[in-house]
Structure formats: structure tokens, C-alpha cells
């Protein structure tokens, strides 16, 4: 009988858990250190070898897009919420994601040119449609506010984030821009 504490390789049985661990590690490390964090650090933080990382995500962009999709799934859940302030929660979460992972957001924005079929902007507008309509119907926002208006406001806030000189200035400037932009959405 072996007394080794080394974990045995569970192979395909661990695939889903390994993928989840890689996504969690990547999300945290991208937020802390930016998109160019060494992939070996992601694998190490996830508790797997680099071969496992590359089996799940052959390219850095594949890993980044998978993290982005997890964030989008969270936004979809918020959009489906019947809460009266679902629209506001959704907009706040988009801005929070922007601040938490600014370098990562820059990557996704830049990926539009590389990924010809990237549909993130349209997906966001589609995601906003239901909660925005409910917010208009309840009088929480202007009846004339459109998905395109909201998307433009979010892009404006992103522009403020992109031109900030460091994280502290970025946070303060984005929050100020958020207050200014969302004030125009009110009735």
C-alpha cells in the first residue's frame, strides 16, 4: 500500500473541474495582472499542469473569450431578473466588470478586428432590451432611452477608463462618468 500523498491523475473525469479551476484562476489573474499574465501562472493557480490548460484552451484568446463568456452568462442572469431595478443592476455590473478587469476589456475590444464574427456589442444591446423596456415602462428611465443610447453611454465610460492614468484615477473617473451618463438616462 502506497503512502504517497501525490494525487493520482483522474484524466477525463476531472475535465470539467479542471476547466472551471482554469477559468476562475484566469479571471482572477487577468484582473490583477492584465491579459499578458503568464499562462503558466494561470495553470499553477488552477492546480493543473500547462498541458491541461492547453488541452482546454489552445490559445490565450480562447481562454480570454471563455472568461468573457462566463461574465456574459452572469449578465444574462441579471437581465432575466424580474427585479424592478434589473436594468440599473445590469448597467452597474457591466461597468464593474470594466473596472475589475480593464486590461481584459481592452483585449475584448481589440479582438473585434481579429474575430470577424465577434458579436459582443449586439449581444449586449440584445441583453439590455428586456430590462430597459421594463425600466421605461415603470418610469425608472426616460421613455426615449434606447439600447443604442445605453451602449453609447457605456462606450463613453469605457473611453474615460481607457484614458485614465492608473487604477486609482480610473476608478474615480469611471464612477464620475457613470454618474454623469446615467443621470441622462433618468426621466
Task: Kindly report, residue by residue over 111-147, the tens digit of the pLDDT.
Answer: 666 666 667 778 888 999 999 999 999 999 999 999 9
pTM: 0.77
Q: In terms of domains, do 53 and 76 share one? A: no
Q: In terms of domains, do 139 and 84 share one? A: yes
Residue 108, number of CB atoms within 10 A of its CB: 19
Q: In terms of domains, do 115 and 37 share one? A: no
Residue 6 lies in a domain: no
Q: In terms of domains, do 49 and 64 share one? A: no
The answer to whether 79 and 128 have CB atoms below 8 angstroms apart is yes
Note the pLDDT of residue 10. Answer: 57
User: Where are the extended beta strands (E) located within the chain?
Assistant: none
Q: In terms of domains, do 94 and 44 share one? A: no
84-98 confidence digits (pLDDT tens): 999 999 999 999 988
Domain that holds residue 128: 59-183
27-84 confidence digits (pLDDT tens): 888 877 777 889 999 999 999 999 999 999 998 888 988 888 888 889 999 999 999 9
CA distances from 39 to 14, 57, 58, 177 (A): 20, 10, 11, 34
Average pLDDT, the chain: 86
Residue 7 lies in a domain: no
Q: What is the three-class DSSP state of 133? A: helix
Q: In terms of domains, do 36 and 115 share one? A: no
Percent of the chain past pLDDT 90, that is, above it, reads: 55
Provide the grid cell at 122. 449586439
43-52 confidence digits (pLDDT tens): 999 999 999 9
Residue 179 lies in a domain: yes
Give the CATH number of the domain where residue 44 resides: 1.10.10.60
Question: Chain-centre distance of CA 70, in angstroms?
Answer: 7
Amino acid at each position: 500500500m502506497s503512502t504517497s500523498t501525490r494525487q493520482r491523475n483522474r484524466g477525463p473525469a476531472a475535465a470539467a473541474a479542471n476547466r472551471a479551476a482554469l477559468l476562475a484562476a484566469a479571471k482572477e489573474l487577468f484582473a490583477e495582472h492584465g491579459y499578458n499574465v503568464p499562462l503558466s501562472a494561470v495553470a499553477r493557480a488552477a492546480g493543473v499542469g500547462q498541458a491541461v490548460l492547453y488541452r482546454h484552451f489552445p490559445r490565450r484568446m480562447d481562454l480570454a473569450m471563455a472568461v468573457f463568456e462566463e461574465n456574459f452568462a452572469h449578465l444574462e442572469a441579471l437581465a432575466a431578473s424580474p427585479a424592478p431595478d434589473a436594468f440599473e443592476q445590469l448597467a452597474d455590473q457591466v461597468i464593474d466588470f470594466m473596472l475589475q478587469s480593464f486590461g481584459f476589456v481592452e483585449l475584448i475590444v481589440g479582438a473585434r478586428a481579429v474575430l470577424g464574427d465577434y458579436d459582443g456589442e449586439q449581444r449586449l444591446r440584445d441583453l439590455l432590451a428586456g430590462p430597459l423596456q421594463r425600466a421605461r415602462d415603470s418610469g425608472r428611465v426616460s421613455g426615449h432611452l434606447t439600447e443604442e443610447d445605453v451602449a453609447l453611454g457605456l462606450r463613453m465610460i469605457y473611453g474615460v477608463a481607457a484614458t485614465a492614468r492608473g487604477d486609482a484615477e480610473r476608478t474615480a473617473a469611471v464612477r464620475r462618468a457613470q454618474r454623469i451618463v446615467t443621470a441622462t438616462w433618468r426621466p
